[in-house]
Amino acid sequence: MNSINSPRHFNIPVFIPELACPFQCVFCNQQKISGTEKAPAPEEARSIIEARLATIPPDSETEIAFFGGNFTGIPQDEQERYLSIANEYVKDGRVKSIRLSTRPDYITRESVEFLKSMNVGAIELGAQSLHNEVLRRTGRGHTAEDVEAASKIILSYGLSLGLQMMIGLPLDTRERSIYTARKIIEYGADNTRVYPALVIAGTALERLYHKGTYKPITLEEAVGTAKEVLKIFEAAGVKVLRTGLHPSEELLSGSSLVAGPFHQSFKELALSEIWSDILFDAIQDRAGEAVYIRAPKREINYAVGYGSSNKKKLLERFKKVVFTADEALTGRQVVIDYN
Ligand code: SF4
């Protein structure tokens, strides 16, 4: 959480799509997702960083993040070139740290030692699921055990560990997603990202979808599952860095998205559902004239609900529903009065 006293956090993503990636996970068309046609040359990476830095207020906490493909799968001299550029910014103090994402089966002691020597502070692994049947059907080419082994190595070097997960993959179920979330916690991740599986043009999933052998989960199911896993992560103190796919322009224009539970405000929908549970548990069977609900300031929009969804549901029971932001409340505290 940002407060008045803590610096604002910014991330400079440098996408490296499918560079040297020999796999073809059913959901993946990295070029479409990142909106980038090819990996940037190291010098282009510098321009991306410079352009983004120019928009970031001084005294912010800024991180360069190499996302997209399989960073440790590219030749080490190329990794070094990207990381050396990032290090120039770390050394001159404009950037605080470096993070990257890669595949769990491309993590070895040697690779992590090298990354640590290049000032990488955080590694995110695309776990996607920790259920081996789901991993197999998704064509990931690694197992849950690979994720566990890679996690141990990363943690043994004192680096921050992120484990990303997807919901709604082939053979996935809500129970399996919840199992994955619990395993992510067990493997020691301090952060995660939760993405709904979408059918993107040009992927194997698109072919399966058209053949009728893959049916994406509905938006309602995806939000319901996201709500459950977010609650599990929150209770365990695992930071959720993102919920929902980054809405790249290409996806929003609809040219890449074929099907699936895409929503621009997916995170807001999931957080509104968490508040729906809180409110309806607290209110139980009560109905009446008016209900007055106070919620923390930073949560008030979620308490009211996306598109006032929670307020509308309460208006089916109460003639009047009043939400107020209360600076004195924290977390997801709520105070409810009636008359
Ligand atoms: S998601 Fe799969 S196919 Fe896509 S870049 Fe990562 S490992 Fe390769």
Q: What is the DSSP annotation of 172-188?
A: --HHHHHHHHHHHHHTT
Q: How far is the CA of 139 from the centre of ligand 1 (A)?
A: 10
In ligand 1, the atom with minimum distance to the C-alpha of 27 is 1
Distance of CA 21 from the midpoint of ligand 1 (Å): 6
Place of tokens 């999931």: 270
- Best residue among 24, 25, 67, 143 to mutate for probing ligand 1's pocket (most ligand atoms within 8 Å of CB) is 25
310 vs 291: CA distance, rounded Å: 13
Residue that has been written with the tokens 């190291």 in this structure: 42
Whether 108 lines ligand 1, by a CB cut-off of 6 Å, is no
What's the 334 CA to ligand 1 centre distance in angstroms? 42
Are the CB atoms for 166 and 129 separated by under 8 Å?
Answer: yes
Q: Is 17's C-beta closer than 6 angstroms to any atom of ligand 1? A: no
CA angle 228, 234, 239 (to 5 degrees): 115
d(CA 193, CA 244) in angstroms, rounded, equals 8
169 in contact with ligand 1, CB cutoff 6 A = no
| 39 CB near ligand 1 (under 6 Å) | no
Local confidence pLDDT in tens for the 339 residues of the chain: 444 457 899 999 998 865 556 787 998 875 655 555 577 888 899 999 999 999 999 889 999 999 876 899 888 998 999 999 999 999 999 999 999 999 999 999 999 999 999 999 999 999 999 999 999 999 999 999 999 999 999 999 999 999 999 999 999 999 999 999 999 999 999 999 999 999 988 899 999 999 999 999 999 999 999 999 999 999 999 999 999 976 565 666 667 889 999 999 999 999 999 999 999 999 977 888 899 999 999 999 999 999 999 999 999 999 999 999 999 999 999 999 998
Q: What's the CA-to-centroid distance between 25 and ligand 1, angstroms?
A: 6
Q: Which residues in 91-128 are b (16+ Cβ under 10 Å) and which e?
A: eeebbbbbbbbbbbbbbeeebbebbeebebbbbbbbbb
Q: Tell me which residue has its CA closest to atom 6 in ligand 1.
A: 69
Nearest atom of ligand 1 to the alpha carbon of 68 = 5
Per DSSP, 264 falls in state T
**Ligand 1 contacts CB of residue 69 (under 6 A):** yes
The response to whether residue 21 sits with its C-beta less than 6 Å from ligand 1 reads yes
Beta carbon of 125 within 6 Å of any ligand 1 atom? no
